[in-house]
């Protein structure tokens, strides 16, 4: 059986490519499990400071979950498939290192849910994004209703999930679903340049930002502010904070060690 992923490192940037182009990189159970293991390994590897996630081939980031596999599932198996996908999305969302979705084509259904679990999303100008599950007699099952609601708001999530029609990259940018839209020919270079920039930033500060945003998105303002203050104070115990402030005062580029 062929492996569903390609994994390669470019310095401190790990690139994970879903490699099922004949299936438009659809997410079956084996691919979900492989992705979960790949992100677990990236989180644990101190040499990795940023992760880029994309799909193989010119057509799709991920065109959705594997419909052929889902067609035969029982209600209990369907619930378990949803939990399998949500476990992966949660792992990505709570990664201690930034994850960039490089959206090179269709990001539909589970593909959009996968992209929304990433911290940043860069889309090619020809990409299409949507939650078309309604057309299959389904609803999103990997967190689509909840993350889309938080990213784009009630009106957008109801439009995409009730109508089931994809939006183009420009509209996705307008809605706040993606962070940037670039020409397809420039997508890889733009994404890897951003990843390299993040890989050079202070790792503990990056993690602090990710943790604060994650916690703040799930609690009230006062609790979020208290958490931010605690994390801010912890930064003063790090070598990176001393290095960063010293570099600023000495007008030189900092060399962060993640300590």
Residue-wise pLDDT tens digits, 31-43: 999 999 999 999 9
Residues 6+ apart with CB under 8 A from 122: 100, 101, 102, 103, 178, 179, 180, 181, 182, 187, 190, 191, 194
Are 61 and 54 in contact by the 8 Å Cβ rule? The answer is yes
C-alpha–C-alpha distance, residues 228 and 210, integer Å: 11
DSSP, collapsed to helix, strand or coil, labels residue 166 as coil
- The number of C-alpha atoms within 13 Å of 148 and in the hemisphere containing its C-beta is 27
**Please, which pLDDT band fits residue 99 given cuts at 50, 70 and 90?**
very high
**Is the pLDDT score of 242 beyond 70?**
yes
| Start-end of CATH 3.90.226.10 domains in the chain | 5-199
Q: Which of 133, 188, 190, 218 is catalytic?
A: 133
Which two structure tokens, joined as six digits, stand for 109?
């259904």
CA distances 95 to 38, 172, 232, 233, 258, Å, are: 12, 24, 19, 21, 16
Confirm or reject CATH 3.40.50.12780 for domain 5-199, answering yes or no.
Answer: no
pLDDT digits (tens, 9 = 90+) for 133-142: 999 999 999 9
To which residue do tokens 């299936």 refer? 23
202-250: CATH topology: Lyase 2-enoyl-coa Hydratase; Chain  A, domain 2 (1.10.12)
- Collapsed DSSP state (helix, strand, coil) of residue 44: helix
Q: What is the pLDDT of residues 152-195, one digit of tens each?
A: 999 999 999 999 999 999 999 999 999 999 999 999 999 999 99
Span 69-73, average pLDDT: 90
Average pLDDT of span 139-148? 96
- Indicate the pLDDT class of residue 1, thresholds 50, 70 and 90: low
pLDDT at 3: 87
pLDDT value at position 2?
Answer: 73
* Residue-averaged pLDDT of the chain: 95
User: Which residue intervals of the chain bear CATH 1.10.12.10?
Assistant: 202-250
Q: Which one from 77, 93, 113, 159 is the annotated catalytic residue?
A: 113
Q: Which of 72, 64, 78 is nearest to 31 (CA)?
A: 64
Between CA 83 and CA 132 the distance in angstroms is 19
* 133 given a catalytic annotation: yes
How much is the pLDDT for 60?
A: 96
The question of whether 77 is a catalytic residue gets the answer no
Q: What's the pLDDT score for residue 171?
A: 97
Query: Is the confidence at residue 45, as pLDDT, over 70?
Result: yes
């Amino acid at each position: 059986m062929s492996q569903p992923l390609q994994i390669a490192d470019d310095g401190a940037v790990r690139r994970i490519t879903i490699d099922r182009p004949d299936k438009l990189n659809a997410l079956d159970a084996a691919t979900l499990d492989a992705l979960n293991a790949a992100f677990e390994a990236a989180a644990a590897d101190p040499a990795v400071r940023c992760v880029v996630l994309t799909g193989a081939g010119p057509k799709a980031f991920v065109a959705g979950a594997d419909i052929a596999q889902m067609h035969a599932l029982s209600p209990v198996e369907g619930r378990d498939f949803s939990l399998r996908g949500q476990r992966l999305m949660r792992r990505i969302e709570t990664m201690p290192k930034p994850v960039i979705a490089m959206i090179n084509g269709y990001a539909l259904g589970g593909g959009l849910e996968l992209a929304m679990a990433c911290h940043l999303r860069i889309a090619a100008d020809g990409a299409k994004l949507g939650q078309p599950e309604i057309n299959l007699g389904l609803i999103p099952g990997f967190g689509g209703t909840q993350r889309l609601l938080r990213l784009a708001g009630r009106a957008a999530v109801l439009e995409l999930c009730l109508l089931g029609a994809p939006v183009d990259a420009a509209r996705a940018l307008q809605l706040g679903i993606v962070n940037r839209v670039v020409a397809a020919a420039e997508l890889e270079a733009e994404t890897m340049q951003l990843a390299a920039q993040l890989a050079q930033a202070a790792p503990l500060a990056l993690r602090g930002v990710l943790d604060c945003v994650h916690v703040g998105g799930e609690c009230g303002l006062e609790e979020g502010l208290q958490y931010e203050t605690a994390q801010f104070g912890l930064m003063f115990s790090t070598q990176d904070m001393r290095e960063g402030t010293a570099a600023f005062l000495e007008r030189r580029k900092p060399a962060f060690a993640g300590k």
